[in-house]
């Protein structure tokens, strides 16, 4: 096998890793709340437990990215994380003690969630080496998540959520097998240092961008944490839960498939402004839904809301940081996009669901999305004004 063939095979191994890791997330996100509910935990306790993942993302994710950049390896760190995750799964998912679950989930998430931004970093490295675009890799994650949520919805409806741990561990083991065939990320030039890291953290434009993204992403995280319970409260079963979680990621696939074309024609700011407007519509629909089946239709908006926002955010960060901070940049994005947003969304969502119910939750999400739309629109117009000014100055210089 020559070098080109090895790179081609490794690119498909990367797609396989993305597919099966997101398949494991397709088990975790939709059905872990139901596992905890079956063990007798309250809605508030479930909200707190779901906030641990984002807390870890906020505090640990960027550190893993910097370690990766410093050591100039992504593949080895992903393998290490997956091994630890597989070892911890049995205890974490079988425990019914809320106070034991708090530290156990913290440790588990410290290794589980950083895998996602590291696979993004590996994807960006692969694209630079052999071509292609990010969306064509990331759509495999959407497919893995969606198909697994659908299959597991029917599986757990028939046999119960007692199979949860076994299904999850099998998927992680398959991910480890995929890692054997991966090429590691290629780092050119000097190693990342703490000075580089500090400059990234103090970049004003990056921080403002991340704060607006966090505001919008928090609404999606609240929905992630409580949509399954919302469906069950209206009389829906595990099959409907699985279908609702299937429709959402499958709706991302066309967006990711067309991602390269969209980003070649429109700026990230323009596309994220459009995504924010569609988030307003999405949560507005959720606030008036009265049957579990209606959620499935509303979930079709997930592709043009979350999918578009996430794709543009990854693109923006990859352009905003130097190559030697590739993993750190994606880790920082994940810190805000999943961490800060997740803590806010899960905690606020748990409070609203417990006290006033789902209508209040999705009404607040609609208002937050409206605020994010206004901020993105202002940022987009500001960037356009700067672009027009630069064009005008260049034309005057020519004269």
Query: What pLDDT, in 10s, does the model give residues 240-250?
Result: 887 887 888 88
What pLDDT, in 10s, does the model give residues 265-279? 999 999 999 999 999
Instruction: Give, as one character, the DSSP assignment of residue 187.
Output: -
Q: Which residues contact 122 (CB under 8 A, 6 or more apart)?
A: 14, 74, 75, 78, 182, 184, 185
Tokens coding 379:
């940022």
SS3 255: helix
Q: How far apart are CA 13 and CA 183, in angstroms?
A: 9
- Predicted pLDDT of residue 392: 43
Q: CA distances (Å), 198 to each of 180, 201, 320, in order?
A: 34, 5, 14
Question: For the ranges 18-22, 151-155, 204-208, which has the lowest average pLDDT?
Answer: 151-155
Mean pLDDT score of the chain:
85
Q: Which residues contact 360 (CB under 8 A, 6 or more apart)?
A: 352
- Predicted pLDDT of residue 188: 56
Q: Is the pLDDT of residue 158 over 90?
A: no
Question: For the ranges 18-22, 180-184, 304-308, 320-324, which has the lowest average pLDDT?
Answer: 320-324
Q: What domains are there in the chain, each with its CATH number?
A: 3-182+195-386 (1.20.1250.20)
- Predicted pLDDT of residue 308: 94
In contact, 311 and 134? CB cutoff 8 Å = yes
Q: Give how far the C-alpha of residue 145 lies from the chain's centroid of Cα atoms, to the nearest Å.
A: 11
Q: How far apart are CA 290 and CA 278, in angstroms?
A: 21
Q: Which residues contact 376 (CB under 8 A, 6 or more apart)?
A: 212, 216, 269, 272, 273, 276
What pLDDT, in 10s, does the model give residues 174-192? 999 999 998 887 665 566 6
Provide mean pLDDT across the span 27-43. 85
Terminal alpha carbon distance of the chain: 58
Q: Which of 106-120, 287-301, 363-377, 383-397 has the highest mean pLDDT?
A: 363-377
- From the list 91, 67, 93, the residue with the least C-alpha distance to 80 is 67
Tokens coding 246:
């299937």
Q: How far apart are CA 94 and CA 90, in angstroms?
A: 6
What pLDDT, in 10s, does the model give residues 335-393? 888 888 888 888 888 888 888 888 999 999 999 999 999 999 998 888 765 444 334 43
Q: Is the pLDDT of residue 326 over 90?
A: no
């Amino acid at each position: 096998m020559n070098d080109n063939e090895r790179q081609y095979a490794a690119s498909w191994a990367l797609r396989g890793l993305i597919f099966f890791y997101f398949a494991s997330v397709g088990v975790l996100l939709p059905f872990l709340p139901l596992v905890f509910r079956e063990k007798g935990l309250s809605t508030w306790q479930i909200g707190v437990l779901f906030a641990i993942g984002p807390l870890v993302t906020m505090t640990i994710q960027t550190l893993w990215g910097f370690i990766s950049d410093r050591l100039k390896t992504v593949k080895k760190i992903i393998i290490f994380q997956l091994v630890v995750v597989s070892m911890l799964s049995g205890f974490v998912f079988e425990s019914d003690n809320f106070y034991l679950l708090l530290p156990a989930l913290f440790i588990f998430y410290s290794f589980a969630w950083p895998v996602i931004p590291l696979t993004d970093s590996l994807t960006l490295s692969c694209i630079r080496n052999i071509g292609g675009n990010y969306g064509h890799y990331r759509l495999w994650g959407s497919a893995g998540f969606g198909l697994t949520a659908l299959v597991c919805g029917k599986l757990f409806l028939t046999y119960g959520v007692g199979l949860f741990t076994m299904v999850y561990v099998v998927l992680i083991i398959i991910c480890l097998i995929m890692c054997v065939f991966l090429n590691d990320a290629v780092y050119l030039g000097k190693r990342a240092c703490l000075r580089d890291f500090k400059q990234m953290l103090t970049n004003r434009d990056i921080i403002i961008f991340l704060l607006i993204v966090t505001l919008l992403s928090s609404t999606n995280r609240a929905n992630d944490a409580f949509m399954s319970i919302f469906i069950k409260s209206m009389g829906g079963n595990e099959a409907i839960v699985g279908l609702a979680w299937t429709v959402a990621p499958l709706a991302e696939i066309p967006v990711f498939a067309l991602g390269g074309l969209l980003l070649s024609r429109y700026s990230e700011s323009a596309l994220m402004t459009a995504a924010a407007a569609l988030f307003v519509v999405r949560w507005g629909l959720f606030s008036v839904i009265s049957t579990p089946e209606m959620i499935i239709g509303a979930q079709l908006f997930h592709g043009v809301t979350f999918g578009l926002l996430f794709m543009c955010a990854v693109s923006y960060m990859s352009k905003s940081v130097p190559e030697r901070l590739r993993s750190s940049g994606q880790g920082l994005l994940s810190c805000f996009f999943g961490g800060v947003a997740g803590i806010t969304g899960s905690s606020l969502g748990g409070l609203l669901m417990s006290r006033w119910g789902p209508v209040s939750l999705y009404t607040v999400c609609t208002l937050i999305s409206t605020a994010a739309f206004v901020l993105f629109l202002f940022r987009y117009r500001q960037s356009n004004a700067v672009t027009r000014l630069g064009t005008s100055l260049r034309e005057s210089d020519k004269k």
